[in-house]
Structure 1
């Protein structure tokens, strides 16, 4: 495919640029991904030897500017991709977030990596940082493309269906039947909005974001998409063989209740973190698991004291593997 358009100013401000990456059309027409880079003014042109590519989660897009600044301060170039039909890449008439095979995302990951290589040179070392569904996508990609990355940093990766593999096995046939005949059929939405309540500055959180690109409740979950996710979970359960260093970060606890509780401001209210850490060791040969006390589902959006602990842990791991 074409390498895409030129870098232009991004919605996040003058220090951010975005580039459209054309992808193969599908049954909904033209499809694109959007690559964002953090490019603050510098006294002289810089060409870092290391880069981070960030991959967001479900019903999300990149807006975590503090994360970009963190990696930039440590000498790494920072990029983030809005996957097809998410955020900057969502086009009118498209089904938000829809995919029926996670391997389809290879196209935008590889297009993003090609741009990074063009920017920084073929010898640049690249790590992928994935959050939630983005963590699952990144781990599966690294497994299928050995040696392409220098490592993975996974922020609350969605490695198993809530309720354990037993629920996944029981649910798979029913979801497959729906997906066969009505792949885009929406399933009952069980998002009560509690996670958004922990994040939004309008309800006690710290963050402001585009509520069209990151709505509450979240995008409808559709049968074909869920079948693809469950296939990814099944592949992780069989064990991956990523040989590069992997850092898996997760909250210290999960709080999932039908009613709001202020404790949700200090826990993961989306995933069962015990399942996350149980699956983490099946990703590869060099896996470090860190539990972050009082962390939210997206640990980078946790309260400031928690974020300090998070970044300190990433610093420690990066130094241990010679990446800082």
Structure 2
């Protein structure tokens, strides 16, 4: 299933392992599992783990998130899904799948590795961002006993403009996807979100721009149809039994013109829609709005991201690990 742990691009405290997956029409397919493994004075095998899943046109580089969970006594793992980041191979269509359930393979492979590292009784939460949050929620709904909880960071639970936009656009997208599933759709990413993050444009973060490009990877018809099918499933209501924490910014600023205000808001998704959809994930959902947060709350400026972590602390204290 997988190779052994080896060095990772994030430095000596991180290890990476390649998960061999079933080939598809583009050839060999892999996912990459990263583990945060700093040297410890008194090493013990944790009984709890967090598995992080990134969003669209992204990969794992949020080292502060890994350090946060490790400081709370949890082993931290992160997936680079197939055709993203560490897992992207020459000749592949970046980020492309035509069914979000395709990711079941790498999620379950990652959980198998975690069970091998920590024991089969270890309790696991998934912490997921944006499209990864949609993938994680759908997976948790199909596997009701597998997790101890979900922490969702601005999960992509609905298209901008509500379900009405989805219903109107779905037939046209389906027609394109039927004949040209990998056809790129018009790219509407103006680069504003990257401008809020990158250290080259006033942000704090340095990352691999081949794996997290500006503008983002082209959105393709088959992928968007799969995402819209996921949105429709959420809109009908999921039944995730475990406690869920959904955090998002307190407001969105979505505009064709740049504004410095965008450095303190979600410029990618409509956070009001996220909040409305989140209550449909299961019977025990906590919604927290983070004032001044950007789309990926872990990449928000201080003291915003510290508040995000404090909200996770409060939620874990209330609900534990199942």
What band does the TM-score fall into relative to the shorter chain? over 0.9
Aligned to 1:271: 269
What aligned pairs does 1:280-291 form with structure 2 within 5 A after superposition? Answer: 280-291=278-289
Q: Does 1:292 align with 2:290?
A: yes
Q: Which of these residues, 20, 23, 26, is aligned with residue 22 of structure 1?
A: 20
Shift of 1:42: 1.3
Provide the secondary structure at the position in 1 that maps to 2:280.
coil
Aligned to 1:38: 36
Q: Which runs of 5+ in 1 are unaligned?
A: none
Name the CA distance, whole Å, in 2 between partners of 1:162 and 1:257.
12
Between 1:36-45 and 1:249-258, the stretch displaced more is: 36-45
Give CA deviations for 1:126-165 in whole Å, capped at 9, x if unaligned. 0001100000000000000011000000000000011100
What aligned pairs does 1:58-97 form with structure 2 within 5 A after superposition? Answer: 58-97=56-95
Give CA deviations for 1:301-324 in whole Å, capped at 9, x if unaligned. 000100111011000000001249
Aligned to 2:96: 98
* Contact 2:123-2:321 at 8 Å conserved across structures: no
Aligned to 1:310: 308
Aligned pair count?
Answer: 322
TM-score of the two chains, using structure 2 as the length reference: 0.99
**Deviation above 6 Å: which 4+ runs of structure 1?**
none
Q: Which runs of 5+ in 2 are unaligned?
A: none
Q: Which of these residues, 172, 175, 179, is aligned with residue 174 of structure 1?
A: 172
TM-score of the two chains, using structure 1 as the length reference: 0.99
Name the CA distance, whole Å, in 2 between partners of 1:280 and 1:311.
19
Aligned to 1:243: 241
Aligned to 1:47: 45
Name the CA distance, whole Å, in 1 between partners of 2:111 and 2:219.
29
Shift of 1:44: 3.7
Name the CA distance, whole Å, in 1 between partners of 2:59 and 2:320.
30
Cα root mean square deviation, aligned: 0.8
Shift of 1:43: 2.2
Aligned to 2:142: 144
Shift of 1:7: 0.2
Name the CA distance, whole Å, in 1 between partners of 2:84 and 2:78.
12
